[in-house]
Chain A
Amino acid sequence: GAGVSQTPSNKVTEKGKYVELRCDPISGHTALYWYRQSLGQGPEFLIYFQGTGAADDSGLPNDRFFAVRPEGSVSTLKIQRTERGDSAVYLCASSPGPGGTYGYTFGSGTRLTVV
């Protein structure tokens, strides 16, 4: 696609529920990143993929968070047993190569609210 697409744009869920957030990167971009941003803070790294594999998942806060990119394109971030502290904007970004060289293009984000 022309840009990075994230769905849904907003998600309200009850504490304890499971949620999936989807990211469709720019066509041909091999690197895909997930970040989380709380109000007044910069984006916080969660995980990145090079192709199909998770190259670095060191930013995932705990084992309730998991992400996949099975065919090297679309990625899904999965959060189990959601907690109120998970409320944030989840940003996906993609890059044609190493993000530190090319920079990223971000999607419009998914605002997750856990009530």
Chain B
Amino acid sequence: QKEVEQNSGPLSVPEGAIASLNCTYSDRVSQSFFWYRQYSGKSPELIMSIYSNGDKEDGRFTAQLNKASQYVSLLIRDSQPSDSATYLCAVPANAGNMLTFGGGTRLMVKP
């Protein structure tokens, strides 16, 4: 089992809809979780971090964490074509000194 798993997609949603991106992880002791956005041909950019169970909202983005189920998700409300990118989930490894990344989910928002 991979340490961090994501559906590779593509996930296609119409403009204005809610996009839901999911990630599962194997290390039960992980304490912090990160979402990165990566546009085609560019490097990953940190967009959200979450440390506690529940929801964390930042503008149109909401991260949701369920440590018991080892599941973290990212919701994007009012999706825009500019949100079209690959979204990478990252989980701490090596006693929290580094991050392990999932394979990413490619999101396509259609006008």
Partner-B contacts on A (CB < 8 A): 31, 33, 35, 40-45, 48, 50, 55-56, 89, 91, 98-101, 103-109
Give the chain A neighbours of B96 by CB distance below 8 A.
Answer: 98-101
Give the chain B neighbours of A106 by CB distance below 8 A.
Answer: 43-45
| A104 touching B32 in the complex, CB below 8 Å, given contacts A48-B98, A50-B97 | no
A43 to B97, CA, bound (A): 16
Q: How many residues of B contact A (CB 8 A)?
A: 27
- CB < 8 Å: which of B44, B45, B98 contacts A56? B98
Known: A56-B94, A103-B90, A104-B99. 9 other contacts (CB 8 A): A31-B97, A42-B88, A43-B88, A48-B97, A100-B94, A100-B97, A100-B98, A101-B92, A105-B46
The reply to whether B43 and A108 contact each other, CB–CB distance below 8 Å, is yes
Across chains A and B, the number of contacting residue pairs, with CB separation under 8 Å, is 70
B60 at the interface (CB under 8 A from A): no
A91 to B45, CA, bound (A): 12
| A42 touching B97 in the complex, CB below 8 Å, given contacts A103-B46, A103-B49, A105-B46 | no
